[in-house]
Amino acid sequence: MSKIKVFLVEDEQCLVETLQEILELNGFDTMVAFDGLEALAKCVEFMPDIILCDIMMPRMDGYSFFNEFRETISSETPFIFLTAKSEYSDIRKGMSLGADDYLVKPVKGIEVINAIKTRLLRQKQILSPELKRVERLEHAIGLITMHEFKNPLTGIIGFLDLIKVNIDTIDKENLKEYLSYIEQAANRIINLLTKVTTWHQMQKIDNQLVENSSRSELSGIVEQIAQEIAKKYHRLNDLTLQLKVNPSIDLSPELIKSCFSELIDNAFKFSCEGDLVHISVSSEKSTCIVKLADNGNRTNATELMEYQPFTQFGKKIFEQQGLGIGINIARSIAGLVKGEVEFLNNNPRGIITKVSIPLTV
């Protein structure tokens, strides 16, 4: 049986030597780096099972190393921060980034060993049921699903542990903040489940849904969705609307919202504050045209046109959340009324999403 590999990233020589000796005496295979940049380079040859990382280090600190490791190397490896401060601010930042645990220096050897064993056991408990299901699914779907549901679940468990440990001393403001993080993670899981359910329903849907739906005025719903999403990103000033017509189409308000919410959200998610997101509704002959134009650096139109469900774009560049099925949902809903979703390059940068829906009398 191979040894568990522990990566120790710490700039204090004495602490490194002590912890490395303790870890190896307890049967762990260890690798050491003295800053984040060195650690990233060594990860190529040493893929760890768990990482112990100091926060304050030269060249690249622990937070930066954590983000870079998660984006470019692995989003699953358990991560324990070491901090010389016991202040809530350090703990909050590490946990909000997605770290699995933290230890306050000076730290005892038994505390390190127990923390490693606890995190590895919890990792196994979280992943094992999912891995059994993944074997019955396509590889890509399984990996993305496991990643997207594990992260918020780990955050919920982490902050609940933090509350339990500090239950007698925690003040109301910190408690409110921790509960806010838990609420955000829970809402993320609910949002993911809603998208999966909608996607699954769209695969089985027939014309009966269209026949039973009432006609809805498109522009008013699109405007409402756009303003809600712009407000969520605190970018109401970046939103511009040009609603030349307000056509009635054979889709319910719920389906229209499902169709455009993900497309509009992507326009804001993959562009920066100060970049305009322009939405227009117009008509060409007997067709309603909705255009969403952003100035982001998300991807190019060709990639989007070739997009398949359960795919994410530029994972190493963008911090993405979700299963990547929003575009498929939008296409499926538009297809109910013989419409289509297209993507064009928005020069000099960004994407134009074009939704065409035939108008009926």
Q: List, in order of start, the domains of the chain with CATH numbers.
A: 5-196 (3.40.50.2300), 207-358 (3.30.565.10)
Higher pLDDT, 25 or 194: 25
Distance CA 248, CA 217 (A): 4
Distance CA 116, CA 20 (A): 13
| Helix axes 253-269 and 326-336, enclosed angle (nearest 10) | 140
Predicted confidence at residue 208, as pLDDT, reads: 47
> String of b and e for 107-145 (b: at least 16 CB within 10 Å)?
beeeebbebbeebbebbeebeeeeeeebeeeeeebbebb
Closest by CA position to 48, among listed 74, 22, 84: 74
Closest by CA position to 318, among listed 297, 294, 341, 333: 297
Do residues 52 and 30 make contact, with C-beta atoms less than 8 angstroms apart? no
Helix H or strand E segment including 38: helix 36-42
135: helix, strand or coil: coil
Distance CA 64, CA 328 (A): 34
The pLDDT-based confidence of 195 (bands split at 50, 70, 90) is low
249: helix, strand or coil: strand
Q: Going by C-beta distance under 8 Å and a sequence separation of 6 or more, which residues neighbour residue 18?
A: 109
Residue 36 CB-density burial (10 A; 0-12 exposed, 13-18 middle, 19+ buried): buried
Place of tokens 């690798």: 31
Average pLDDT over residues 263-287: 89
Q: In what order do the strands lie in the sheet with 29-33?
A: 29-33, 5-9, 50-54, 79-83, 101-104
> String of b and e for 247-264 (b: at least 16 CB within 10 Å)?
bebbbbeebbbbbbbbbb
Q: For residue 106, is the peptide bond before it cis, meaning its omega torsion is within 30 degrees of 0?
A: yes
290: helix, strand or coil: strand
Do residues 66 and 83 make contact, with C-beta atoms less than 8 angstroms apart? no
The pLDDT-based confidence of 224 (bands split at 50, 70, 90) is very high
Distance CA 79, CA 66 (A): 8
Predicted confidence at residue 223, as pLDDT, reads: 94
Q: Going by C-beta distance under 8 Å and a sequence separation of 6 or more, which residues neighbour residue 16?
A: 8, 10, 32, 34
* Amino acid identity for residue 357 in this structure: I
The pLDDT-based confidence of 307 (bands split at 50, 70, 90) is low
Predicted confidence at residue 325, as pLDDT, reads: 67
Higher pLDDT, 185 or 224: 224
Percent of the chain's residues with pLDDT above 90: 15
The pLDDT-based confidence of 282 (bands split at 50, 70, 90) is very high
Q: Is the pLDDT of residue 100 over 60?
A: yes
The pLDDT-based confidence of 202 (bands split at 50, 70, 90) is low
Q: Going by C-beta distance under 8 Å and a sequence separation of 6 or more, which residues neighbour residue 348?
A: none
| Strand positions, DSSP E, the chain | 5-9, 29-33, 50-54, 79-83, 101-104, 216-217, 239-243, 248-249, 277-284, 287-293, 340-345, 351-358
Predicted confidence at residue 319, as pLDDT, reads: 40
- The pTM score is 0.48
Percent of the chain's residues with pLDDT above 70: 77
Distance CA 140, CA 288 (A): 35
Paired residues of 318 in beta bridges = none
Average pLDDT over residues 132-147: 49
The pLDDT-based confidence of 86 (bands split at 50, 70, 90) is low
Q: Is the pLDDT of residue 68 over 70?
A: yes
Q: What is the mean pLDDT of the chain?
A: 79
Do residues 351 and 301 make contact, with C-beta atoms less than 8 angstroms apart? yes
* Paired sense of beta strands 248-249 and 277-284, if any: unpaired
Q: Is the pLDDT of residue 338 over 70?
A: yes
